[in-house]
Amino acid sequence: MILATGATWAICAAATAGVIGRPFRWPEAIWAVAGAALLLVLGLMPPGAALGAVGKGGDVYLFLIGMMVLSETAREQGLFDWVAATATNHAQGSTARLFALVYATGIVTTTFLSNDATAVVLTPAVYAAAKKAKADPLPLLFACALIANAASFVLPISNPANLVLYGGKMPPLGQWFGSFALPSIASIAVTFVALRWAERARLTGTCERDVARDRLSAGGKAAFAGIAVTALLLVVMSAFDLPLGLPTCLAGVATTLGVCTLARRSPVAVAKSVSWSVLPLVAGLFVLVEALDRTGVIGHVADALRSAASDPVKGAAASGTILAFASNLMNNLPAGLVASTAVAQAHPPRLIVDALLIGVDLGPNLSITGSLATILWLQAIRREGEDVGFWRFFKVGCITMIPALVAALGARLLLG
């Protein structure tokens, strides 16, 4: 039994390290799936339990499918390039104003399309706009990376990790706003001020005033309308405490089919551009977390949450802070899965659960491997010829994430 437990921990640790480090530049999904497969081959995980673990992510998969096809459709129709160019022209030659406009665009994109959309779709558009404006792209790229996490608890739909932590059953929208409206404002505002200060030397001077902007096509307008309708639909579904996965998937697919029909383009081309590897990555992580649960390690986490419940305020502050930093050690998706399973066992007060969500959403701004969004962001800027090393991101992360975390958790604790 001890040998089996040790082997399970080792495999889960190695798979998680592979997801974070991407040895041989292999996709993250390969490492998660390989770890899950090895558990099955060695008999450390029964097939039935593995299938059950994969099945737990049903709503998350549907949510991701809908958001990915919707984002890719909008990207292909030039909507995000148009938005970025519009922001550049409205900057009126001020680099600092351009930074603020990009940040604001990131808030909207993250809020209504998820943090992954900001990382994958908005980042290349911002880079292209920065080049056209002859502005230093790095502060603007950092804005995309950090707002993707800082704004990811404005709405339940703003981060797939929200679905994971709450086990696919989100709090009603009114309760959500009651818990996270003030912490979201604190997170967004403090991150902006801290990043603006950290990059102050690069945000001096002027940039080009007039950047060429293609007219938004009929397909782009239709994609924008689809995004607006999807956002409205999800807000309504959340208000009535209904699952978000299926509506997101249906809305995303319907928008894609409608736009492709209007643009006379095959939807297969859109589908080919979607990063489908995210789905097996998430499924593999569900299996790894289930394996850890079977060894009893998550039970110890649940015991810690039960102990924290004796003093909810101190417990919430400690739990949210620990999870924020742990998300950078093991990536926030598996960290969120562990926390979700522990919450289901311990049933801690809502204040502690809310603090855990703030930690798992905002914590990854500390390091470049903290979340799937920041990993996708790094891939996106590398395709554009830019790169940011671990220590460069970590330096900015220390300046921005830590005060934002203190502000967000403090705001939530003030609400009681």
Residue type, 127: Y
C-alpha 173: how far from chain center: 19
Residue 336 has pLDDT above 80, yes or no: yes
Question: Going by C-beta distance under 8 Å and a sequence separation of 6 or more, which residues neighbour residue 221?
Answer: none
Task: Work out the angle at residue 346's Cα, subtended by the Cα atoms of residues 174 and 359, and round it to the nearest 5 degrees.
Answer: 55
Mean pLDDT of 220-226: 93
What is the tens place of the pLDDT at every residue in 198-218?
999 999 888 877 776 778 889
Residue-range domain boundaries for the chain: 88-213+296-416
Cα–Cα distance list, 180 to 118, 184, 378 (Å): 20, 6, 28
Confidence band for 343, pLDDT divided at 50, 70 and 90 = very high
CB count in 10 Å sphere of residue 6: 11
Q: What is the mean pLDDT of the chain?
A: 89
Mean pLDDT of 236-261: 88
Residue 337 has pLDDT above 80, yes or no: yes
Mean pLDDT of 241-260: 90
Higher pLDDT, 219 or 236: 219
Q: DSSP letter string over 351-404?
A: HHHHHHHHHHHHGGGGSTTSSHHHHHHHHHHHHTT----HHHHHHHHHHHHHHH
Mean pLDDT of 354-374: 92
Q: Give the pLDDT confidence score for residue 168 in this predicted structure.
A: 60
Of 5-9, 59-63, 146-150, 281-285, which has the strongest mean pLDDT?
A: 146-150
Confidence band for 63, pLDDT divided at 50, 70 and 90 = confident
Cα–Cα distance list, 272 to 69, 72, 263 (Å): 10, 10, 17
Residue 406 has pLDDT above 90, yes or no: yes
Q: Give the pLDDT confidence score for residue 167 in this predicted structure.
A: 67
Q: Give the pLDDT confidence score for residue 50 in this predicted structure.
A: 94
Of 195-204, 208-217, 267-276, 327-336, which has the strongest mean pLDDT?
A: 195-204
Mean pLDDT of 245-254: 92
Mean pLDDT of 335-354: 91
Mean pLDDT of 250-274: 92
Q: How far apart are CA 253 and CA 245, in angstroms?
A: 12
Cα–Cα distance list, 295 to 34, 222, 288, 298 (Å): 19, 50, 11, 8
Residue type, 237: M
Residue 146 has pLDDT above 90, yes or no: yes
Residue 46 has pLDDT above 90, yes or no: yes
Q: Are 32 and 280 in contact (CB under 8 A)?
A: yes
Q: Give the pLDDT confidence score for residue 261 in this predicted structure.
A: 93
Locate all alpha helices (DSSP H) within 199-266, ordered by sequence. 218-239, 245-263
The token pair that represents 199 in the structure block: 């990059």
Q: What are phi and psi of 93, to 5 degrees?
A: 85, 0
Mean pLDDT of 221-229: 91
Higher pLDDT, 231 or 186: 186
What is the tens place of the pLDDT at every residue in 80-135?
888 878 888 888 889 999 999 999 999 998 998 889 888 878 888 888 888 878 88
Higher pLDDT, 393 or 215: 393
Of 123-127, 407-411, 412-416, which has the strongest mean pLDDT?
A: 407-411
